[in-house]
Chain A
Amino acid sequence: MVDISAFLDKVEKPARYTGGEWGSIIKDPASVDVRFAFCFPDTYEVGMSHLGMKILYGLLNARSDTYCERIFAPWVDMEQLMRQNGVPLFSNETHSSAGDFDILGFTLQYEMSYTNIVNMLDLAGIAAFSENREGVFVCAGGPCAFNPEPIADLIDFFVIGEGEEVIGEVIDAYKTWKKSGEPRRAFLERIARLDGVYVPQFYEVSYNGDGTLASFTPNNENAKRKITKRIVHDLNKAYYPTEFIVPYIDIVHDRIMLELFRGCIRGCRFCQAGIIYRPVRERSRDRLLALANALIKHTGYEEISLTSLSSSDYTMLGELCGGLLDVTEKQNINLALPSLRIDNFSLELMEKIQKVRKSGLTFAPEAGTQRMRDVLNKNITEEDITKSTRLAFENGYSGVKLYFMTGLPTETDEDVLGIASLATLVADQYFAVPREQRAKGLSITVSTSCFVPKPHTPFQWAAQDSVTELMRKQKLLQGAIRQRAVKYNWHEASVSYLEGVFARGDRRLAKVLVAAQKSGCKFDSWHDFYSFERWLGVFAECGADPDFYTVRHRSYDELLPWEHIDSGVSKQFMVSENERAMRGETTPNCRENCSGCGAASFGGGVCVD
């Protein structure tokens, strides 16, 4: 156990580190066979908002042979005190040193958290590179594990796909191995045979003269050639926690999260989640109502939020909300419905459920012109947007947030300027509503992020825009937005560029991450410490060319670093989608017409319904 009591009155938000929240699990570490630490490479407030952690924490602690604790990245003030006093990274529950656990499991939610993983290992006194590591095993999972290669040298094993399916098998294998007294490698060989587990050290990589991948082959008989993701086949039977940890301090998403379904029928071509969570699988209305009741009772939360990639696509949304309202209205519980498509139905629904101020509505057209949206397969038309915003303004809304991307494949200046035109068009809808009927104070916020091509998407071969080009487009758009009611925000282009490096990176980047941590890079997704210049220095020092991973166009023939990871969606489908994108052709959603992406092989969800 580490002692941090002397630091607590010297740091921001000390309750980040003290644990003891309602719903946190207390066990005697000596009474279990396996000690697991769920590690979130960001602050407590961010990590505690993550649904995946709640699921795995509950699932693992339901086992009497396992104790799962939580570890977060300490904020820099705490880190400094820890380093000055030789205190290692510790868990929230028992304040045990990270090195005392059997397995550390990192979740990979965004690439810009990779330096925090390196920093956390360093703080724990655990070797950064897997080959030098003894004792504790370090594993990782989550969406970014679908291209595990940039951190492959740092991680002992990855879990690909939905972790709740695999983690129990890993724990069982660990127990057997621990009893056997076999060497470290034997455990990795055991789990390498499990479906969905990837052990990077059992693969040999070679490169061509131009830096592209030449071969990727198993060097251990237990290693599979392809690692196919695991999925939960029936969400109604799958574990879902009915007890959440309720933090003392405010966190980012401080409410009950009710997961309606996994996957998305839409097939937007830039969206990685839309591919890797295929096929779409829904929870039944009855199951959701039962879960909601249990969670309300256990947590005492005053808000419940329906979560999914696109809530409007839940088949029984009206019925579900009706059932939830019966429960929530009586108990002063607020029902939140993010990710809704705005139409008559949803506005009516929102009218019913949200008795709060009509402040803002959010739309994500993603692109400014119809041509560009067709390339993305973002099946929203200009008419959808004008109709729904008109409807919203007629119903007393006066604020609209519009989200777009720039730097998209085939994007021209005309597409960029189309964003400004669309914002104007939305403003026109407001002014078309008679003055006495509309709410005062029109406010339109246009936000653009920078497109980052992601692995396992039809755009995985695309060249990413350079930082200069992205900034030029941001300036261009800024100049075109002249209305007072329209506010323009844009995302820092260099951060997206770095994200692009690690999104589609290969094994050679692990040394860059380790060097970056040494030079002080951490919390890169926070503005506070991020420095692009420092990053460029690190790349130069390591002899790595970030442009190779970003602005370079890849051919279909190139062996991609993540090709051994199988999302269930075929390369053939991805190629065909990319080709259709280039021709500006859209593809119908999964419920309209099956496009034969390959996910039907899992035999579940929308593919068999």
Chain B
Amino acid sequence: MTKMRLTFEKGEATRYVGHLDVLRTFIRALRRAQIPVKYSEGFNPHALMTFALPLGVGVTSECELVDVTVTKQLPPEAVIERLNENLQAGGIKVTACEYTDLPFGEIMRAEYIIIVKTAEKADALALENALAQQEILVDKKSKKQTKQINIMEHIFESEVQDLGDEGFTLRAVISAGNSFNVKPQLVVAAIASVMPEPEIKNILPHRKRFIFQD
């Protein structure tokens, strides 16, 4: 029994597929690809797999990690090939596979590229100003409660990469992880709260990489 670590992309076609649905998609793709996944014992056997960090609805990614316990080691290239043959193009795509005994490193931060579509061109200075604030209070909702946080404490890097008539692209490194996670959409909502114009029409975040604890 070994642990197989997969790196995968969540593409545009699956942007609005939530975490549990990604999990289910993986289980089925693994079955189709006939990867020898280890199942738990008991009345309701389930595939033994763990995701490094759930990815929310509306976010794409190129750096997702999942560990799958298997009963037999297949060559990594074969795993990648067989899985991708069994996943619809444009959605989830496996990019790397390795066997490991180590648990995931502790995720502290993540880098996102966020495309923000606006009704008209945003003002460059207003954007700079928004990102330079010391404090912007936002409501951070979890399943159990809503808490007010200063989001600026959780933004470690931010820059406007592209500013056009229909919106802008933001690169941001923000808090992420299983103990404290900030959604990229919340960063944009914070900017909007100090920059009411122009109206934001659509937020399209993309997770670029995880930053682990040293």
State whether these chains interact: yes
Residues of A within 8 Å of B185, CB to CB, are 9
Q: Is the CB of B32 within 8 A of A297?
A: yes
Q: Nearest-CB distance from B79 to chain A (Å)? A: 15
By beta carbon, the residue of chain A nearest B25 is: A248
Q: Is the CB of B202 within 8 A of A9?
A: yes
Residue A584 at the B interface, CB < 8 A?
no
**1/0 contact string of B180-214 vs chain A (CB within 8 Å):** 00000100000000000000011100000000000
Q: Is the CB of A248 within 8 A of B17?
A: yes
Q: Quick one: given A5-B202, A15-B17, A249-B17, are A21 and B28 in contact (CB under 8 Å)?
A: no
Q: Is the CB of B91 within 8 A of A250?
A: no
Q: Quick one: given A6-B117, A6-B201, A332-B39, are A15 and B27 in contact (CB under 8 Å)?
A: no
**1/0 contact string of A282-311 vs chain B (CB within 8 Å):** 000000000000000111111000000000
Which candidate, B82-90, B136-144, B148-156, is the interface stretch facing chain A? B82-90
Q: Quick one: given A248-B25, A297-B32, A355-B43, are A15 and B16 in contact (CB under 8 Å)?
A: yes
Residues of A within 8 Å of B13, CB to CB, are 18-20
Q: Nearest-CB distance from B25 to chain A (Å)? A: 6
Residue A30 at the B interface, CB < 8 A?
no
Residues of A within 8 Å of B91, CB to CB, are 20, 248
Q: Is the CB of B14 within 8 A of A248?
A: yes
Docked complex Cα distance between A332 and B39 (Å): 8
Q: Is the CB of B28 within 8 A of A356?
A: no
Residue A357 at the B interface, CB < 8 A?
yes
Residue A317 at the B interface, CB < 8 A?
no
Residues of B within 8 Å of A9, CB to CB, are 16, 57-58, 185, 202-203
Q: Quick one: given A6-B202, A248-B14, are A22 and B43 in contact (CB under 8 Å)?
A: no
Residue B103 at the A interface, CB < 8 A?
no
Q: Is the CB of A300 within 8 A of B28?
A: yes
Residue A246 at the B interface, CB < 8 A?
yes
Identify which of residues 1-43 in chain B touch chain A, using a CB-to-CB cut-off of 8 Å.
Answer: 13-18, 21, 24-25, 27-32, 39, 43
Q: Quick one: given A22-B87, A249-B17, are A8 and B58 in contact (CB under 8 Å)?
A: yes
Residue A322 at the B interface, CB < 8 A?
no
By beta carbon, the residue of chain A nearest B204 is: A5
Q: Is the CB of B57 within 8 A of A14?
A: yes
Q: Is the CB of A300 within 8 A of B117?
A: no
By beta carbon, the residue of chain A nearest B26 is: A300
Residues of A within 8 Å of B18, CB to CB, are 15, 249
Residue A236 at the B interface, CB < 8 A?
no
Q: Is the CB of A24 within 8 A of B117?
A: no
Q: Quick one: given A15-B21, A21-B88, A356-B44, are A298 and B203 in contact (CB under 8 Å)?
A: no
Docked complex Cα distance between A9 and B185 (Å): 10
Q: Quick one: given A300-B27, A300-B29, are A250 and B21 in contact (CB under 8 Å)?
A: yes
Residues of B within 8 Å of A19, CB to CB, are 13
Q: Is the CB of A300 within 8 A of B57?
A: no
- Which of B17, B27, B201 has the most A CB atoms < 10 Å from its CB? B17
Q: Is the CB of B21 within 8 A of A248?
A: yes
Residue B45 at the A interface, CB < 8 A?
yes
Docked complex Cα distance between A128 and B44 (Å): 49
Q: Nearest-CB distance from B162 to chain A (Å)? A: 18
Residue A331 at the B interface, CB < 8 A?
yes
Q: Is the CB of B28 within 8 A of A22?
A: yes
By beta carbon, the residue of chain B nearest A11 is: B16
Q: Is the CB of A14 within 8 A of B88?
A: no
Q: Nearest-CB distance from A350 to chain B (Å)? A: 15
B-side interface residues, number (CB < 8 Å): 31
Q: Quick one: given A9-B202, A22-B87, are A249 and B28 in contact (CB under 8 Å)?
A: no
Docked complex Cα distance between A15 and B31 (Å): 22
Q: Nearest-CB distance from A478 to chain B (Å)? A: 36
Q: Quick one: given A9-B202, A249-B21, A250-B21, are A14 and B16 in contact (CB under 8 Å)?
A: yes
Residues of A within 8 Å of B90, CB to CB, are 20
**Main secondary structure on B side of the interface with A:** mixed
Docked complex Cα distance between A230 and B57 (Å): 45
- Which of A24, A246, A300 has the most B CB atoms < 10 Å from its CB? A300
Q: Nearest-CB distance from A89 to chain B (Å)? A: 19
Residues of A within 8 Å of B14, CB to CB, are 15, 20, 248
Q: Is the CB of B201 within 8 A of A298?
A: no
Docked complex Cα distance between A23 and B43 (Å): 30
Q: Nearest-CB distance from A599 to chain B (Å)? A: 40
Residues of A within 8 Å of B16, CB to CB, are 8-9, 14-15, 18
Q: Nearest-CB distance from B106 to chain A (Å)? A: 30
Q: Nearest-CB distance from A568 to chain B (Å)? A: 40
Q: Nearest-CB distance from A43 to chain B (Å)? A: 15
Q: Nearest-CB distance from A357 to chain B (Å)? A: 7
- Which of B15, B39, B117 has the most A CB atoms < 10 Å from its CB? B15
Q: Nearest-CB distance from A235 to chain B (Å)? A: 27
By beta carbon, the residue of chain B nearest A8 is: B16
Docked complex Cα distance between A20 and B117 (Å): 23
Q: Nearest-CB distance from A39 to chain B (Å)? A: 22
Residues of A within 8 Å of B201, CB to CB, are 6
**1/0 contact string of A173-215 vs chain B (CB within 8 Å):** 0000000000000000000000000000000000000000000
Q: Is the CB of A300 within 8 A of B58?
A: no
Residues of A within 8 Å of B43, CB to CB, are 355-357
Residues of A within 8 Å of B31, CB to CB, are 300-302, 331
Residues of A within 8 Å of B24, CB to CB, are 248, 250
Q: Is the CB of A20 within 8 A of B58?
A: no
Residues of B within 8 Å of A299, CB to CB, are 28, 32
Residues of B within 8 Å of A15, CB to CB, are 14, 16-18, 21
Q: Quick one: given A18-B16, A355-B43, are A24 and B88 in contact (CB under 8 Å)?
A: yes
Docked complex Cα distance between A22 and B33 (Å): 13
Q: Is the CB of B21 within 8 A of A300?
A: no
By beta carbon, the residue of chain B nearest A23 is: B88
Residues of A within 8 Å of B39, CB to CB, are 332
Q: Is the CB of A300 within 8 A of B202?
A: no
Q: Is the CB of A298 within 8 A of B32?
A: yes
Pick from A6, A20, A356: contact of B88, CB under 8 Å: A20
Residues of B within 8 Å of A302, CB to CB, are 27-28, 31
Docked complex Cα distance between A126 and B58 (Å): 32
Q: Is the CB of B45 within 8 A of A332?
A: yes
Residues of A within 8 Å of B44, CB to CB, are 356
Q: Nearest-CB distance from A352 to chain B (Å)? A: 15
Docked complex Cα distance between A24 and B89 (Å): 11
Docked complex Cα distance between A248 and B26 (Å): 10
By beta carbon, the residue of chain B nearest A14 is: B16
Q: Nearest-CB distance from B120 to chain A (Å)? A: 15
Docked complex Cα distance between A436 and B205 (Å): 59
Q: Nearest-CB distance from A315 to chain B (Å)? A: 31
24 contacts between A and B (CB under 8 A): A5-B202, A8-B15, A9-B185, A9-B202, A9-B203, A18-B16, A19-B13, A20-B13, A22-B32, A22-B86, A22-B87, A22-B88, A248-B91, A250-B24, A300-B28, A300-B29, A300-B31, A300-B86, A301-B28, A301-B31, A302-B28, A332-B45, A355-B43, A357-B43
Minimum-distance CB pairs A-B, first 7? A300-B28, A20-B13, A300-B31, A14-B16, A300-B32, A248-B17, A15-B16
Q: Could you tell me which B residues sit within 8 Å of A by CB distance?
A: 13-18, 21, 24-25, 27-32, 39, 43-45, 57-58, 86-88, 90-91, 117, 185, 201-203
Beyond A9-B58, A22-B28, 6 additional contacts (C-beta under 8 Å) are A14-B58, A248-B14, A248-B17, A300-B30, A356-B44, A357-B43
